[in-house]
C-alpha cells in the first residue's frame, strides 16, 4: 500500500494538470442533470484539495478548475433547457427521475431567481435547477449573473475544507506520503456515503401510509 501511495503522490506531483482536470470534470458533472445526482463530484474536489498544503497542487488552479467546471456545466444545462423548453423535462433521461424533476421545478417556482443561487448548495437539486430554469424560460440576463455569483462562493466552500484538513495534518508533522491516502480516501468514503444517503432519500418512492383501522 505504501508503494502505491508513493506512486500516487508522485503522479500528482508530476502530473498536476491531470488532478486539475479531474476537479474540472467533477465540477462539470455536478452541474449536469443525472450525472450530478449519480457522481459525487464534490467529494472528489474536496479530497484532491487536501493535497494543496503539501505543495502537490496549487490553490489557485484548484479553485479555478472547480469554478470553471461548475460555470460551464450550469451554463450548458441551462442552454439545453432554454432551447428545448419544458419538453426536455419529460424526455429521457430526465423522465427517469420524475421526483427530482418535480422537486427542482417546485424549488424554482418557490424561490424564483434566488433558486438558482440556493440550488448550487443543495444536492441533488443543483444538478436539475439550471435545466429547469432554462426550460421555464428564465431570462439569460438573470440566470448567468446569479449562477456565476453562486459558483464563485461554492468553489471555495468545496475546496477550502479540504485544504484546511490537509493543513491540519501537516501541522501535526505528518508528510503527505503518510497521510495522503488515509485523508483523501477517508474524505471520499465519507462523502460517498453521505451522497448515497441523500440520493436514496430523494429518489426512493413514497411509502403508502397504512389504512387507519
pLDDT in tens, 103-127: 899 999 999 999 999 999 887 788 8
Compute the C-alpha angle 35/39/43, nearest 5°.
140
- For the chain, the domains span 2-203
Residue 206 DSSP label: P
For the cut 90, the answer to whether the pLDDT of residue 170 exceeds it is no
- What distance in Å separates the CA atoms of residue 105 and residue 111, rounded to the nearest whole number? 10
- The pLDDT of residue 163 is 87
CA atoms in the 13 A half-sphere facing the CB of 122: 16
Q: Which residue has the higher pLDDT, 5 or 35?
A: 35
- The pLDDT of residue 39 is 67
Burial class for 124, CB neighbours closer than 10 Å (0-12, 13-18, 19+) = buried
Amino acid at each position: 500500500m505504501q508503494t502505491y501511495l508513493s506512486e500516487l503522490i508522485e503522479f500528482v506531483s508530476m502530473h498536476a494538470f491531470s488532478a486539475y482536470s479531474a476537479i474540472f470534470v467533477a465540477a462539470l458533472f455536478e452541474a449536469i442533470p443525472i450525472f450530478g445526482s449519480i457522481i459525487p463530484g464534490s467529494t472528489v474536489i474536496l479530497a484532491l484539495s487536501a493535497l494543496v498544503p503539501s505543495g502537490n497542487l496549487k490553490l489557485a488552479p484548484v479553485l479555478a478548475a472547480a469554478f470553471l467546471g461548475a460555470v460551464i456545466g450550469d451554463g450548458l444545462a441551462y442552454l439545453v433547457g432554454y432551447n428545448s423548453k419544458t419538453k426536455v423535462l419529460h424526455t429521457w433521461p430526465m423522465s427517469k427521475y420524475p421526483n427530482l424533476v418535480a422537486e427542482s421545478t417546485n424549488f424554482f417556482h418557490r424561490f424564483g431567481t434566488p433558486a438558482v443561487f440556493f440550488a448550487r448548495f443543495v444536492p441533488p437539486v443543483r444538478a436539475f435547477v439550471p435545466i429547469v430554469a432554462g426550460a421555464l424560460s428564465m431570462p439569460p440576463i438573470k440566470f448567468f449573473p446569479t449562477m456565476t455569483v453562486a459558483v464563485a462562493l461554492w468553489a471555495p466552500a468545496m475546496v477550502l475544507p479540504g485544504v484546511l484538513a490537509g493543513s491540519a495534518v501537516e501541522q501535526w508533522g505528518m508528510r503527505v506520503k503518510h497521510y495522503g491516502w488515509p485523508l483523501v480516501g477517508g474524505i471520499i468514503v465519507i462523502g460517498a456515503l453521505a451522497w448515497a444517503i441523500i440520493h436514496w432519500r430523494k429518489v426512493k418512492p413514497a411509502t403508502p401510509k397504512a389504512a387507519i383501522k
